[in-house]
Amino acid sequence: MEELKKLYEEGNYDQLIKEFKDYEKTGSNDPEAYMLAGKAYYYKKKPKDSLKCLEKGLQLGGDKKEVDYFMGKDYALMGKYDKALEKLNEALSLKPDDPSVLLNIGVVYALKGDRQNAKSYFEKATRADPNEKKAWYDLGVTYFMDKDYENAAECFRKSYELDKDFYEALYNLVSALCMKGDQDFDRYYQILYEKDKKRAELLKKICEREKRGKRFRLW
């Protein structure tokens, strides 16, 4: 069991799954082993295997909130968005202010094409945890899609400031500032230019095309 925990913490999901299969043959009924395997299968993008392990883990007494959360993510991977929302909302009912659950509900709504609900849940996630960079980033994307470049830029800025290595946040921040015609554009463009000269130059050209009525594509 300790080996499975160690492999999970290391992100060595392939080896964890291999060890779990051997562990399962011993007839052990430790719910945590099934939970770890379920999460490992999820990260390996094998949602059906993940669901089987999570269901078994729940039957053996595993944490229901965690099971519902990962099941919701599994169903989202499978494109079963209504089922994903059902499970994620069950997880949310057990911990109403969980930023990860709120964020993932927003992601599922975005995948369904419901930008308004997506935005609402991304906003809730940022309130639940102002340091959740992905929530700020996803919220920025929804604002950008609505052509609200001012709020988009602010969200991307917050996301980037939380993690200066978050390249996508920087790229989209420069995009929003360009579209907004913001005075901070040159500052952040230079940062992007130093990280990736070719992409920065291309972004500038794309932005100018968009201003002339062409289509713009985010990262």
- pLDDT (0 to 100) of residue 205: 87
Amino acid at 219: W
pTM score: 0.88
* Ordered domains of the chain (ranges, CATH): 1-62 (1.25.40.10), 147-219 (1.25.40)
Amino acid at 145: M
For residue range 178-199, list pLDDT tens digits in order. 988 888 999 999 999 999 999 9
Nearest Cα to 157, choosing from 197, 128, 201, 126? 126
Q: Give dist(CA 65, CA 63) in Å, integer.
A: 6
- pLDDT (0 to 100) of residue 97: 94
- pLDDT (0 to 100) of residue 213: 64
Find the distance separating the first CA and the last CA of the chain, reported in whole Å.
Answer: 40
* Structure-token pair, residue 40: 């490992």
Q: Give dist(CA 55, CA 204) in Å, integer.
A: 49
CA angle 79, 104, 137 (to 5 degrees): 115
For 44, how many CA atoms within 13 A lie in the half-sphere containing its CB? 20
Q: Has residue 110 got a pLDDT over 60?
A: yes
Which residue carries 């993690």 as its tokens? Answer: 163
- pLDDT (0 to 100) of residue 207: 83
Confidence of residue 7 (pLDDT cuts 50, 70, 90): very high
